[in-house]
A and B are shown apart, each in its own frame.
Chain A
Amino acid sequence: MKEQPDPAAALTVTVLFFAAAADIIQRETVQLQLHEGVTLADLQQQLYSRWPELSQRLPTLMWAVNEQYATPQTILRAGDQVACIPPVSGG
């Protein structure tokens, strides 16, 4: 029986987009196939290379993993829900 995760195994992560970020990429969710050990920073780079306008028009995006604000060093796990959070404007 295999106890350790296979470093090459793909994991699926869902990314949610809101407000102007959703308008820019013209969708509210993206599913990404990633590898074990990948960080939030790696995921961000994938998204920014696919949609350069995202970081150009929203340079101070915040990110959350499983509904908590997260740093770029956060390691992603299978089934994680990542959210791309433009500057908030509630109130």
Chain B
Amino acid sequence: MIQLTHEPLDHAALLQSVSSHQAGAALLFLGTVREFTAGQQTLQLNYTAYESMALGQLEQLQQDALQQFPVTAVGIQHRLGELALGDVSVAIAVSSPHRADAYECSRWLIDTLKQRIPIWKQEHYADGRVEWQHPGEPTGQVAEADSEPQSGASTDGQ
């Protein structure tokens, strides 16, 4: 399953989609909206995407994972639009014969998704500022204050 949606993610369905008798492990990762990042208080996030390309790139990511890791099945969901604190923004499910491969593959998927997929988050801070997060860019000043190199925003795959 590969899904981009403005609706709350049905991660139970995602986990079900990777279930298999070939697998001895099924792993579900959820990225959720965090309130504090480097001392900055977030009220909500707004996600936008180049939707057609993001879907194609997510499908490619799924294929790459299946080729690079000895896993049985991979599914990815990403939510778009306005998200509140605690909402699930991304869900990744991996099944594999042995658990170590599912953990490794899941980690690779969220890290690579954050580098490759054309999706952007906009932070709405408690002090009224609204900023796009562009890791490494001067427009994302708050992101630069974050000690985590890939993150700088209020959900986490780190």
Contacts and interface: CB of A to CB of B under 8 A. Distances in A.
Interface of A: 16, 18-20, 23, 57-60, 64, 67-68, 83, 85-91
B5 interface: no
A18 B48 contact: yes
A58 B133 CA distance: 11
Interface of B: 31, 47-50, 52-54, 56, 78, 89-90, 110, 113-122, 132-140, 143, 152-153, 155-157
Contacts of B53: 64, 67-68, 83
A57 B117 contact: no
A18 B118 contact: yes
Nearest to B114: A91
The residue in B52, B53, B89, B138 that gathers the most chain A C-beta atoms within 10 A of its C-beta is B53
B134 A83 contact: no
A67 B55 CA distance: 10
B133 A89 contact: yes
Where chain A touches its partner, the secondary structure class is loop
Contact of B137 (A64, A67, A86, A91): A86
A11 to B, nearest CB: 21
A91 B31 contact: yes
A90 B49 contact: yes
A20 B139 contact: yes
A19 B113 contact: no
A51 to B, nearest CB: 14
Contacts of B114: 88-91
Given A67-B53, A67-B56, A88 B117 contact: yes
Contacts of B113: 90-91
Contacts of B115: 88
Given A86-B134, A88-B119, 4 more contacts: A64-B50, A67-B56, A89-B121, A91-B119
Interface hub of A18, A58, A88 (most chain B Cβ within 10 A): A88
A89 B152 contact: yes
Give 6 closest A-B pairs by Cβ, nearest first: A90-B119, A19-B120, A89-B133, A67-B53, A20-B132, A87-B134
